[in-house]
Structure 1
Amino acid sequence: MTQPPDDPNHDSKDDQPDDKGADIVDLNAARSGRRSEPEPPVLEGEVLRVDQPGPSRTDWRASLERKATTRQPIIPLWLRSRAEAIETLRWAGLHYAHVASYQLVRTPLYAGRLVARAPLGLVRLVSGFVRWTFDLKGEPARIAAVRKSDYDGYLKLSRQRDIRVRARGWMTGLILLGLLVLAVVTVNQPTAAQWGMLAVAVALLGILGKPADRPLINRAVMASEVEKLTSDIVVRALSVLGIAGITQALSKNPKDAIRFVAPITRDGPGWRADIDLPYGVTVADVLDRRKQLSGALRRPLGCIWPEGDPSVHEGRLILWVGDKDLSKTVVRSPLKRASSHDVFKGVPFGNDPRGRLVTVPLIQHNVLIGSQPGQGKTSSIRELAAGIVLDATVEAWFHELKGTGDLDPYDKVCHRYVSGIEDEAIAYAADSLTLLRKEVMRRSAALKALPADLCPDKRITRQIADKRSLGLHPLVCIIDECQNLFAHPEYGDKAGDDAEFIIKLGRALGVVLILATQRPDRDSLPTGISANVSIRFCLRVAGQLENDMILGTSAYKNGIRATVFVPEKDAGTGYLVGATPMPKVVKAAYLNTPETQLIADRAYALRKARGTLSGHALGETPEQAAPSFDLLADILAVVPPSEAKVWNETVVDRLAELRPDAYGAWAALEGGAKTAQLTTALKPYGVRTMQVWGTPESGGKGANRIGIARDDITTAITQRDKGKAS
């Protein structure tokens, strides 16, 4: 409202209309412009609001994607695997066959119980029938009405009773008449029918005469009393672990401190709970207290298997509580009755705590197994070896450097085999690695020469492996107790360099190296090997250093700890890394010596039929890898004193001209591989490479490349000769 003109405080200028007239403002445009304007700067002392008002808005597609991760499988997990489905059906068949046999054997006992209980059943039947006919069940109500002098109520109850008794009397008469007719008819029936009717009558009377505390039929299988896992039990267990973050969160907000992101459900033979731990608490904190968690849940330690899900975040805990102690479970190998196997599909290795089969891929991988003595390392190797020998296309090189003959059943199918701890056995294993190195170089050239349509990815496939003439079939080398080789004063350094070379380059060429050790330290397991192996299986070890040597750097810090396993009790159980998307606890299948022998016999028959027996299996003399030439002397022969320094690739080309049989495969390599070959070959002699300026022998521009100094070769020869003399 405007002020009147006679108001002295009124400003007449403000009340006058503009000569140009009023402006019409587009509100939508003004609002959009206001939204696009930059926010004013925050002044000192002013509160900055970082949370936007109103409900949070998320992309509906992202919301659906998150929800999709919780979809339940349409087909049960046990039906997705043929092996698991067969095992489940086999177990169900054996279970019900046992129940049927158990009850069938006890049929005479149950018949005797029915006969003994039939008189009491007859008494109960007659007394119950009489009480029903004369409505004796309502007698207490009528007596109570008399005691209360409720004559009207008594008369109503009496009339009701008379009506019931009259109707039930007629029904009773008809039933008795029917029974009489049935008895007369039965008398004229054959004896078998009479006995049948009598048996049915006795059985019915025996069931009626059953005592309340004595069941007629015994239980064939006693169900284990396992407490159902609930959220209250889980929260109670986590609250007593002594983890400061959980204790503080529960004291401030008992209801929401520990959040369950999915319902607790049955998952295999146990219960699964998906939990978000309080802020700042990681799964590793819970893994440190697995024993305390076992006590809090009142379950054996072998039933408690907490694990993380880093794909979500480090505080996502997946707690699985099994019905049966894993340490008391014997895992049967699917290979015990297999007639053959395909290593390109992996090797069935064992079961996880939930009873699911775990397969280890071998092609394009290398395997490292480590543990303390007596924890099941050798049985793990036996299982892998079973899958290897049952594939007739695989060339097996097995080395057991403990001398106990654990792999002896397989010697009849191996191309190279040795068992022993003496220097001769160690030298044999070192020769095998040298030969494998040469084989890797040969395969590299052979694979490169294959046409693109046969080998588009430059990797060994099943189709290529089946073409025996190409010589590119899978080759698997097992070295058990490899610490005895790598720590050997004479053969160790060279063997370590060869093994590292094979692991790095042989993966795509069908050459697989499987190493097992009970002493995982820097001396017995070179870091170049432990750092490059793709699949690792660690059974019980003593500490963090050994754990990370096998499972990889920071594995212990990330909660993958093989120190949690109980010595001897958890034999055969370990952490498997690299074979599955996430690290997994696995109990390896167990094969005893007679079972291993049967597998080896089937493998021998299979290989003999296909003509793939070779080497040791045919009694041939083992190939010697020790060269009849001196590498250092050959280098001095091709590098004259006038050349103080020379490129590695130049030296390799000259060596190939000097001894084509020995160095021809080196020269076939290209670029960095050729340079690295000479560098690795010189390492055992202590000769180091360096940057060398030079020009190609064929002409061209000068450049800095990896090379050697001739004086270093001369010094190495001198030191070597002095060592021999001493």
Structure 2
Amino acid sequence: MRSPFAKSTGGELVPFPTRPPAEVEDSDNLPAVIDAEVMPAAIPAPVATVEPIDLVVRRAADYRPVLPGWAKDVAELRRALRWLGRFAGHRAAFHGVRVPLYLGRTLAYAPRGALRLMVVLNRWAFDVEAAELRWAAVAAKDHKSYMNLSRQRNERVKRRLTVAMVVAVLALVVLAVASVVLSGALLVATLLSTVAGLGYAGRPRGRGFLSSAADRRGPVRLTQDIVLRAFAAAGLCKADDPIAFATPCHRDGDGWRVILDLPYGTPAKKAVLKRAEIASGLDVLAGQVFIAAESGATGSARRIELWVAEQDPTTVPAGPSPLLTASGVNFWQAWPFGVDERGREIKLCLLWLSMVVGGLPRMGKSFVARLAVLAAALDPDVRLLIFDLKGSPDWRPFRHVAHELHQGEDVDPDTGVDPVGRLLEVARELRAEVNRRNRVLRTLPASDVPEGKLTERLCRARHMGMPLVLLFLDEVHRAFTHREFGAELAEELSDLVRVGPSVGVMVISATQKPGSIGAGKVNDAWNTYRDNHSCRFGLRVGSYTVSEMILGQGAYGEGLDCSTLPEAAKGVGIVRGTGDVAVPAGTVRTYLVDGKGAEVICQRGRQLREQAGTLSGMAAGEQPAEVESGPRRSLLADLIEVIGADEQAHSDVLCSRLAESSPEVYGGWRPEQLAAALKPHSVATRQVWAKGTDGAPANRRGVARADLYAAGRPSGGADS
């Protein structure tokens, strides 16, 4: 039998068997096939599932909360009550001091109000409204219509005058009774109420009776009509294709919030990019409007959240940092970084991250970056390596806690250390440390490294020697443009910022030149280094293109533009790429720690390190591991020295010779490390015919002596 869904070929129609499907499932009970036609088994009919048609299954995201957010959050509730008290108190005080003015207006407007009342009663009683119809009939010489209208007018006036006389008599009776029955106070109150009503009726047309207690620019409160007007002005909806309100407009923090759905086919991104137009439609500043697309596992691509602040939140300082009073910080967890536009605290965790901070000069880059390093200073198991290439006094307090602290670009006359040269040595040491940590982690049992990564227990185990390391570089672009060490630093730092965070070696970079810093390989290396930072924080910049260089590609399309931040917004920026769903990309007002506060925090961090036995390096009075007073080593010079008279040599042979001549520098080098170190000098390894480590000639990758001479002469100078 063919399937009932197969196309008919004109064969015989065979009905379905009447036996239950269970009876034909056992092939042993089927009759033998006698003729040549093969009859397939019957296909069981699908079992229909009956569901109640009136049962509506809704997603959890569709349910609105029983209580609004401000009622469940104590901080939000306090802000709402403060706003309500401030609003009511201001209105009461404003109008209270103007009571004498309102009394004067009442007395002045009351006669005009009484006259207006008499005019209205007169027009009603004598049917003045229909006078135009009677005059029209006279002008048209329509005698019949005029007589009908006149008759109706006379009857209407008679009835209305009767009603007016009855009301007047009743009013006089009530007034006479009230003067006898009511006390003097009630009588005065009644008369005052009457005068007040007449005064209100006599107010000038188009003018309020009470003075305005607030500037009428911008909405006093957000309403659906105002939102509709704004989105229509921005071209996001039409009268026949409006927006839909998922929630009513309601108070939220120091502003108003509403969730709405754009018309079908209009993505949320379009509204995000029209923030300025929406702000104009709301009659507020663009800095007061914040639009976010809905995110999560479920939702709608056209749903947005609109929050309108009472004032531009970037002009309101976040206040002093909680780090000033904190006894310590666990850098493995999030620590207080600042507050968002609604005043909600933002906590940042830099574990497994590298961070870049960029912006115009004097916008607070050093203060923002210093906040992160201060948090690390309060964890005794974080080793701090600070290179302030600007040489400002902002980082002097860290002399109490930093394993190494170097400032400026020039050689320190007290220690003889070249900060940029030492940075190159530190970068090499950290790359070697990253490799060592990865080797150690590979040898540990899975129970110690459940996710294959460094854990807090291993980090705080002193015998493992794997504390968290935080390398901070202020004005890092100076290292890349350094004439002597720039090329090799670019290679070392670019690799370190990629692989270091995975084993607890984190890098924080601050720069006022996030864009191009040169040409050719230097600029390419800088762009690679900058783009490899996962967490970005941008303060005010000059254009949206520079903003994208700091925040990363696609930031402008998400409505993130540091060039829109006001000039007065010191320490206010946009964060992106934190890797934490609790810290979405957006505006952050960072907490403030001044110079005195930084000194206090660093002193407390030193005490924590002394108690834990982790005070080390320059903070403990030691000098850097290598302080060379003479000329620095040059890789090219060392290679030319060990290659000797050979025209060319294999890479593994050269690594072996380098390790023998300078084991403290080249110990453990492999051919791929040599190739990477030679890349900044434009020397490439290639296939060469030379003797190997076993003495037998072979064709393997190596270096030609002519290439080394072409790249640099064997002087005692440093790498260029």
TM-score, length-scaled by structure 2: 0.65
Contact residue 632 and residue 718 of structure 2 kept, 8 A: no
Q: Which residue does 2:439 correspond to in 1?
A: 445
CA distance 1:634–1:724, shift in 2 (3 Å) = closer
Cα contact 1:363–1:507 (8 A) shared by 2: yes
Q: CA deviation at 1:73?
A: 5.4
Q: 2:292 aligns with which of 295, 300, 307?
A: 307
- Which residue of the partner structure matches residue 666 of structure 2? 663
Amino acid at match of 1:609: Q
Q: Which amino acid aligns with 2:304?
A: L
Which AA in structure 1 matches 2:329? H
Amino acid at match of 2:283: R
Structure 2 contact 484–718 (Cα < 8 Å) conserved: no
The Cα of 1:373 is off from its aligned counterpart by 1.4
Work out whether residues 442 and 665 of structure 1, in 8 Å CA contact, stay in contact via their aligned partners in 2.
no
C-alpha deviation, 1:597, in angstroms: 2.2
**Of residues 324, 337, 356 in structure 2, which corresponds to 1:349?**
337
What does residue 612 of structure 2 align with?
610
Residues in 1 aligned to 2:86 and 2:544: alpha-carbon distance in whole angstroms: 47
Correspondence for 1:522: 516
What are the Cα deviations for residues 124-150 of structure 1, in whole angstroms up to 9, with x where unaligned?
Answer: xxxxxxxxxxxxxxxxxxxx9997599
Q: Distance in 2 between matches of 1:569 and 1:287?
A: 22
Deviation of 1:357 after TM superposition, in Å, equals 1.6
State how 1:579-658 maps to structure 2 within 5 Å.
579-581=579-581, 582-624=584-626, 630-635=634-639, 644=648, 646=650, 648=651, 651-652=654-655, 655-656=658-659
> Which residue matches 2:365?
377
- Residues 261-660 of structure 1 aligned to structure 2 (within 5 Å): 261-278=246-263, 281=266, 283=268, 285-309=270-294, 315-332=302-319, 333-422=321-410, 424-523=418-517, 526-569=526-569, 571-581=571-581, 582-624=584-626, 630-635=634-639, 644=648, 646=650, 648=651, 651-652=654-655, 655-656=658-659, 659-660=662-663
| Aligned-residue offset at 1:322 | 1.7
Matches within 5 A, 1:180-219: none
Letter of the structure 2 residue corresponding to residue 573 of structure 1? G
Unaligned runs of 5+ in 2: 1-12, 19-49, 97-161, 184-188, 197-212, 412-417, 518-522
Tell me by how many angstroms 1:324 deviates.
3.6
SS at match of 1:407: helix
**What secondary structure, in the 3-state scheme, does the structure 1 residue paired with 2:580 have?**
coil
**Aligned equivalents of 1:347 and 1:557: distance in 2?**
29
**Cα distance in 2, alignment partners of residues 614 and 481 from structure 1:** 25
Q: Describe the SS at the equivalent of 1:476.
A: strand
Task: Please tell me whether residue 240 in structure 1 is matched to residue 225 in structure 2.
Answer: no
Question: Are the aligned partners of 2:571 and 2:590 in contact in 1 as well (CA < 8 Å)?
Answer: no
1:345 is paired with a residue whose SS is coil
Deviations 1:248-294 (A, max 9, x none): x52xxx14343334444443332223344346655555455434433
Paired-residue identity, %? 28
Q: How far apart, CA to CA, are the structure 2 residues paired with 1:58 and 1:616?
A: 74
Cα distance in 2 between the residues matched to 1:505 and 1:453: 23
Task: Say if 1:240 and 1:714 are closer, same or farther in 2 by CA, change over 3 A.
Answer: same
Separation of aligned partners in 2, 1:485 and 1:450: 37
> Relative to 1, partners in 2 of residues 1:456 and 1:629: Cα closer, same or farther, differing over 3 Å?
farther
Change (3 A) 1:724 1:464: closer
Alignment partners' CA distance in 2, 1:234 and 1:725: 62
Q: 1:318: how far off?
A: 2.6
Give 1:561 deviation, angstroms. Answer: 1.8
Q: Deviations over 1:64-116 (max 9, x none)?
A: 57x21234457976899xxx85x6699799999999xx9xxx9xxx9xxxxxx
8 A Cα contact 1:310 1:316, kept in partner:
no
Measure how far apart 1:409 and its partner are. Answer: 2.0
Give the 3-state SS of the residue equivalent to 2:394 in structure 1.
coil
CA contact (8 A) 2:469 2:506 kept: yes
Aligned 1:38-77 pairs, distance under 5 A: 64=57, 67-72=59-64
Q: 1:292 to 1:562 in 2, by over 3 A?
A: same
Structure 1 match to 2:23: none
1:510-561: CA deviations, max 9, x gaps?
1110001111123277122122211111111222332222111232244322
> The residue matched to 1:455 in structure 2 has which SS?
coil
Structure 1 residues 235 and 722, CA, compared in 2 at 3 Å: closer, same or farther?
same
Rate the CA distance shift 1:508–1:339 in 2: closer, same or farther, 3 A. same
Distance 2:715 2:382 in 1: 42
Instruction: Work out whether residues 306 and 320 of structure 1, in 8 Å CA contact, stay in contact via their aligned partners in 2.
Output: yes
Residues in 2 aligned to 1:453 and 1:552: alpha-carbon distance in whole angstroms: 37
Q: CA offset at residue 456 of structure 1?
A: 3.4
* CA gap 1:625/1:561 in 2 versus in 1, 3 angstroms: farther
Cα distance in 1 for residues equivalent to 2:82 and 2:243: 42
Q: Find the aligned partners of 1:542 and 1:73 in 2 and give their Cα distance.
A: 42
Q: Are 1:231 and 2:227 matched, yes or no?
A: no
Question: 2: CA distance between counterparts of 1:284 and 1:441?
Answer: 43
**What CA distance in whole angstroms lies between the structure 1 residues aligned with 2:633 and 2:400?**
33
Kept in 1, the 8 Å contact 2:290–2:307? The answer is yes
Question: How far 1:569 moved relative to its partner?
Answer: 3.6
After TM superposition, the score normalised by the length of structure 1 is: 0.65
Unaligned 5+ segments in structure 1 are 1-22, 29-56, 111-143, 173-206, 214-221, 667-673
User: Secondary structure of the equivalent of 1:597?
Assistant: helix
CA distance in 2, matches of 1:88, 1:276: 25
Maintained 8 Å contact 1:371/1:541 = yes
- Report if aligned partners of 2:386, 2:405 keep a CA contact under 8 Å in 1: yes
Comparing 226-235 with 333-342, which one deviates more in the overlay? 226-235
> Structure 1's 94 and 71: CA in aligned 2 closer, same or farther, altered over 3 A?
closer
Residues 539 and 575 in structure 1, CA contact (< 8 A), matched pair in contact too = no
Within 1, Cα distance between the matches of 2:56 and 2:703?
65
Q: Give the letter aligned to residue 348 of structure 1.
A: P
Change (3 A) 1:696 1:269: farther
CA distance in 1, matches of 2:397, 2:430: 23
- Checking the alignment, whether the CA contact within 8 Å between 2:83 and 2:254 is kept in structure 1 is no
- The residue number in structure 2 matching 1:681 is 677
By how many angstroms is 1:369 displaced? 0.8
